[in-house]
Amino acid sequence: MLDSTVWRQYHSENSFRTYIAEFCQMEEVDLIVEDKELYSALKAKLTKKELKLFAMDTANVGDDKLKSEFSYDDASLEKAKFKLYKKLKQDKTRLEFRESSRDRER
């Protein structure tokens, strides 16, 4: 289904639902039911670089590998992580992941 995604490069399962719920401070039952639609919403809200950082960071890839992958130093890695997780907590991002947001579009 979502086998060739950035997420699956670093995770063996489509576990992004759990992480979205955790970082967006939402209940999993409130998230979009269909994984493909939820992943599309995630891709729409994050840049490619942020999505890859999210996938790698939640897969517990070491900071050294993250720094070399993105050409970051310590400070810029922490700043990028802060920005990413701050974005996930924003209402305009969180609301896009809710099942009720899909109901409005239909």
- pLDDT per residue over 12-62, tens digit each? 998 999 999 999 989 999 999 999 999 999 999 999 999 999 999 999 999
For residue 102, name the pLDDT band (cuts at 50, 70, 90): low
So what's the pLDDT on residue 2? 74
Q: For residue 13, what is the DSSP state?
A: S
pTM of the model: 0.89
Tokens 């239909």 sit at which residue? 106
Residue 105 has pLDDT above 80, yes or no: no
Q: In whole angstroms, what is the distance from residue 67 CA to residue 24 CA?
A: 25
